[in-house]
Structure 1
Amino acid sequence: MDMNNPIIENIANPHELERMFRKDPEAFKKSFSYAWEQNPDSQVLAVWYERLYFKETANTEKASLFQRDFLLMSILAILAGISTRIILHFVEQQAIAPVNLVFGILPFIAVYFVFNNIPQKNLLYILASLFLLSGFYLNMLPLESKDSILLAYLHLPIFLWVLVGLAFTGNEYGMGSTRLAYLKFNGKFCILYASMAISGMLLTALTMQLFRFIGMDISEFYFKNVVSFGAAALAIVATYLISRNLKLAKNIAPYIAKIFSPLVLVTLLVYLVTVIWVGKNPFLDRDFLISFNGILLCVLAVTIFSITESDTDEKKNISDYINFALIVLALTIDSVALSATVFRLSSYGITPNRLAALGANILIWANLIWIMFSYMRFLQNKTGPSTVQDAVTKYLPVYGLWAAFVTFTFPLIFY
């Protein structure tokens, strides 16, 4: 039998073994099984065994990991949907503030990240404590429409977003590369979630119409139960798909960044010229100042998205000059908004809104200055693009600290 097995015949001839394998891999595998049984101590066959079956073992482990990850995602998606529906019930009863709905989504995304990148115990305790403290504190605030309370509602999601980032980075929270990965995750998440949400809206419209055909209006029930559940669960599904390195979000995000940056730049330039032409004044017009700050945040978001989606190995190109122009534009807008806020503070006195706007404008102004000078050095070939990305990622905790300060102190200071 041994003499009829070509692998055993050529066990001392590696060149012939390789030729046989390349000629007919399936036949080689069949012959190899018998040869391995008869010669389990052969070092040559042991190497071939690893070569033939290592990939299959890896795939088995990968499939097991995939199944565990999928099960975790499914459980968290269901829990997020149920939690959101329960929270929505109490919101409708006006027992709690609508901002509580973020607790139906963000903590579950954080849990998903923690399970996939288990941090040290002290970091885990910090995360859990801060989420619980935030929820307890939020619901201890009176349900009033006071400015300080509304500011806390606006800043709390930002603080929780930073906590989710801490869960994402895990023990590597101090590394710029992991913070950059979190920012990239957010860009891809928005793209993927919006794509799936559009599909969900089409399904909702179809469902509504089908039931109308039989004389039933299920819109109230459907939106309260199915849509609220699905919107929360979809966030966990999108997180899972991006974590599994979904090619759609990975491939489309850089192109969207490159398309949107010039469009935003042109649109804002036209808008600012129009503003000057019609004589709008953010120093005197409060509503216009608010919209001006809103524009600033949009420009900042687009710029950061574009910067984080650029490859650190890329050489400078037209997109970098567009990004630099956007940064200069954002800095100009922020300087005007900052001046207007200082003017209103000195003229009309201190209020929670003005103080919050002043702090945010100062923080954004400092960040934009840092990014602008980093970009200038990059465009002058003095540094690489990673320096620009560092100016974005290293500043993230500052925004989180400011959001925490406004959330937890303003309702007490201005009560």
Structure 2
Amino acid sequence: MSAELDPQLEEQIAAWRAYAGRRDAIAGRDVDELEDHLRDQIERLEASGLAPDEAFLVAVKRMGGIDELSREFAREHSERLWKQLMIDEPAAESSRSRALPLAVGLAVAAAAAVKIPALFGIDFAQGGDFYLRNLALLILPFLAAYFLVRRRARTATMLVVALPFVAAALVLNLYPFGTDAATLALAAIHAVVALWIVVGIAYADGDVRSSRARMDFVRFTGEWFVYLVLIALGGAVLVALTMAVFGAIGLDASAFVEEWAIPCGLAGAVVIAGWLVEAKQSVIENIAPVLTKLFTPLFTLLLLAFVVAGLLQGSLVEPVDGAPEMFGQRDLLIVFDVVLVVVLGLLLYAMSARDPLARPAWFDRLQLVMVIAAILVDLLVLIAMIGRIAEYGASPNKLASLGLNLILLANLAGSAWLQVRFLLGRTRWDRLERWQTGFIPVYLAWSTVVVVVFPPLFGYV
């Protein structure tokens, strides 16, 4: 049900607009813009399964902080709003009650899909090559199916989501990869990235051109990861207790744990975590700002410490046998590639949790410091990679890392520039959002190139 067609919701929005219009500091044009943001948030939340009144409350909460406007409105109208929520509770419960069986059914189907290869003699412990190729293909379609069903997606959207999965399955299983081929590992890893973005198409119900829809998927990704980690921690405790209980009576449960509990639990958790994000949005919204404010300073210090320590130690600048010592430290380059990706993910998650209409604050300045530090690290890593390629020649791993770092550098440099302009009051926050979400198709394209082009280009080795 859309925000424009629900009479109760229109009444709530009208009350909110009247409240905003009474503020002398807010012009009529500003009220129109705020209402557009509010309606956009409500539509996204309704599409994710919330009832109209629930969506309205969450949307008002997300906008709370604009001159305390929405927060005061929620306080003054809370009694009436919560009464309406209680009246409409059966409808909301009905929506959630339909979502849970769907999520559980698809989680069970994902767990079964992981074990079906065992019927053909391919078990999880020994079929490493098969599962490297197909693990994402066995699990992610069920998460995509959950969103397609929940959104009542059109046939065109279903086809747009299904075709990349089919194409990835053909490429990964028909390419004649060599034994322990580096291109196979690269293709499998980048296939996960590409297919996760395809899941985002299902999440957005095919609205891939909307910057807001892309940012909502970024928010979902961060929250999904939080829930998945929590489920994994609970699963680890369950596995430990299972081993201990069966060990106490003289039985070894390790085979069951390795072949059934871990693979099936992982597959099911991917879907259940997706359901939890949508079912518990009001809870996770309180966690997201805390996580971003905790880890942003820590990663900023990590990046700054690396730059300072490297320069003081001289390993980044002093030549050893004609090349900087860091050029030979392949593992170190991989570690900092991972750090840069995590930093970008943290930046995106922090942006998705931020009120887009709030004024610049200290946390925005801290983010700018983190981005600048990440740019410095990325430049050092790029210099090292170019040196390794010049010294030892090109390889699929080196070129894949080089391409990723160039994309990261462009992304981070643009973010830093726009962040500076935002802090100076020369641009709006949504311009920074559009810059970041505009890179999602770039990562999809690069991942596709690595999956499809790199293997034949390097002879499937």
Name the TM-score class by shorter chain. 0.7 to 0.9
Question: Deviation at 1:230?
Answer: 1.7
What is the one-letter code of the residue matched to 1:176? Answer: S
CA distance in 2, matches of 1:366, 1:272: 20
Q: Which residue of 1 aligns with 2:313?
A: 278
| Residue 58 of structure 1, CA deviation | 3.9
CA RMSD between the two structures? 2.2
- Tell me whether 1:83 sits opposite 2:113 in the alignment: yes
Q: Deviations over 1:228-248 (max 9, x none)?
A: 212211221111111124433
Instruction: Give the structure 2 partner of residue 171 of structure 1.
Output: 206
Query: 2:179 matched to which residue of 1?
Result: 144
> Of 163, 183, 188, which aligns to 1:129?
163
Deviations 1:135-175 (A, max 9, x none): 12211233522222222122111111111111111231110
Partner of 2:57: none
**What residue number does 1:65 align with?**
95
**What corresponds to 1:318 in structure 2?**
362
Encode CA deviations 1:186-209: one digit per residue, 9 max, x unaligned.
111111121122122112212211
Query: CA–CA distance in 2 between the matches of 1:228 and 1:370?
Result: 40
Quick one: distance in 1 between partners of 2:125 and 2:246? 25
Pairwise CA distance, 1:272: 2.8
1:184-199 pair list within 5 angstroms? 184-199=219-234
Change (3 A) 1:392 1:214: same
Higher mean C-alpha deviation, range 210-219 or range 176-185: 210-219
Q: Which residue of 2 aligns with 1:11?
A: none
Opposite residue 352 of structure 1, the aligned amino acid is: P
User: 2:258 aligns to what?
Assistant: 223
Aligned equivalent of 1:309: 353
- Measured against aligned partners, the alpha-carbon deviations of 1:4-35 in whole angstroms (never above 9, x if no partner) come to xxxxxxxxxxxxxxxxxxxxxxxxxxxxxxxx
Give 5+ residue unaligned stretches, structure 1: 1-52
2:384 maps to which of 340, 357, 366: 340
Amino acid aligned to 1:77: A
2:23 match: none
Rounded to whole Å, the distance in 2 between the matches of 1:288 and 1:58 is 56
Tell me, in whole angstroms, the C-alpha distance in 1 between the residues paired with 2:262 and 2:131.
20
CA distance in 2, matches of 1:55, 1:242: 20
Counterpart pick for 1:247 among 272, 282, 295: 282
How far the C-alpha of 1:56 sits from its partner, in A, is: 7.8
Determine the C-alpha separation between the residues in 2 that align with 1:247 and 1:55.
14
Aligned residues of 1:264 and 1:299 also touching (Cα < 8 A): yes
- Does the CA-based 8 Å contact 1:73-1:112 persist in structure 2? yes
Bigger mean CA offset, 72-81 vs 269-278 = 269-278
C-alpha deviation, 1:93, in angstroms: 4.2
**Cα 1:331–1:373, aligned 2, differ >3 Å: closer, same or farther?**
same
State which of 64, 85, 109 in structure 1 corresponds to 2:143: 109
Q: Calculate the TM-score normalised by the size of structure 1.
A: 0.82
User: How many residues in Structure 1 have an aligned counterpart in Structure 2?
Assistant: 363
**Conserved 8 A contact 2:190-2:448:** yes
How far the C-alpha of 1:218 sits from its partner, in A, is 0.7
1:98 aligns with 2:132: yes
C-alpha contact (below 8 Å) 2:219/2:349 kept by paired residues: yes
Q: 1:232 aligns with which of 267, 281, 289?
A: 267
User: C-alpha separation between the residues in 2 aligned to 1:55 and 1:310?
Assistant: 26
1:403 aligns with 2:447: yes
Alpha-carbon distance in structure 2 between the residues aligned to 1:97 and 1:227? 14
Determine the structure 1 residue equivalent to 2:8.
none
1:105, CA displacement in angstroms?
2.1
Is residue 400–residue 450 contact of structure 2 (8 Å, CA) maintained in 1?
yes
Q: Deviations over 1:383-407 (max 9, x none)?
A: 2222222221111010010000110
**Equivalent residue, structure 2, for 1:383:** 427
Letter in 2 for 1:102: A
Question: 1:292 deviation in Å?
Answer: 2.8
Which ranges of structure 2 fall in alignment gaps of 5 or more residues?
1-82, 316-324
Deviations 1:340-363 (A, max 9, x none): 222333343322122212211111
1:353 aligns with 397
Q: Give the direction of change, closer, same or farther, for the CA distance of 1:238–1:289 in structure 2 (3 Å limit).
A: closer
Q: Are the structure 2 counterparts of residues 284 and 228 from structure 1 closer, same or farther at C-alpha, using a change threshold of 3 Å?
A: closer
Measure how far apart 1:304 and its partner are.
Answer: 2.1
- Provide the rounded CA distance (Å) in 1 between the counterparts of 2:86 and 2:299: 49
Decide whether aligned partners of structure 1 residues 386 and 78 sit closer, same or farther in structure 2, where only a CA change above 3 A counts.
Answer: same
**CA distance in 2 between partners of 1:242 and 1:312 (Å):** 21
Q: Give the partner amino acid of 1:341.
A: M
Q: Which of the residues 258, 261, 271 maps onto 2:296?
A: 261
Task: Report Cα offsets for 1:28-62 as digits up to 9, x if no partner.
Answer: xxxxxxxxxxxxxxxxxxxxxxxxx9978844333
Contact 2:186–2:397, Cα closer than 8 Å, also in 1 = yes
Quote the Cα distance in structure 1 between the aligned partners of 2:457 and 2:309: 40
Deviation at 1:277, TM superposition (A): 3.1
Q: Hey, what does 1:26 align to over in structure 2?
A: none
> C-alpha offsets along residues 93-125 of structure 1, whole Å, 9 cap, x if unaligned?
436142422223211111111111233322321
Contact 1:76 1:108 in 2 (8 A): yes
How far apart in 1 are the matches of 2:395 and 2:254? Answer: 42
Query: SS at 1:105's partner residue?
Result: helix
Matched, 1:369 2:403: no
State the Cα distance separating 1:90 from its structure 2 match. 4.2
Separation of aligned partners in 2, 1:212 and 1:149:
39
Letter in 2 for 1:406: V
Q: 1:387 to 1:245 in 2, by over 3 A?
A: farther
- In the alignment, is the contact (CA less than 8 A) between 1:97 and 1:143 conserved in 2? no
Checking the alignment, whether the CA contact within 8 Å between 1:166 and 1:173 is kept in structure 2 is yes
The question of whether the paired residues in 2 share the 8 Å contact of 1:77 and 1:236 is answered with yes
Q: Which protein is bigger by CA-based radius of gyration?
A: 1
Name 1:19's counterpart in structure 2: none
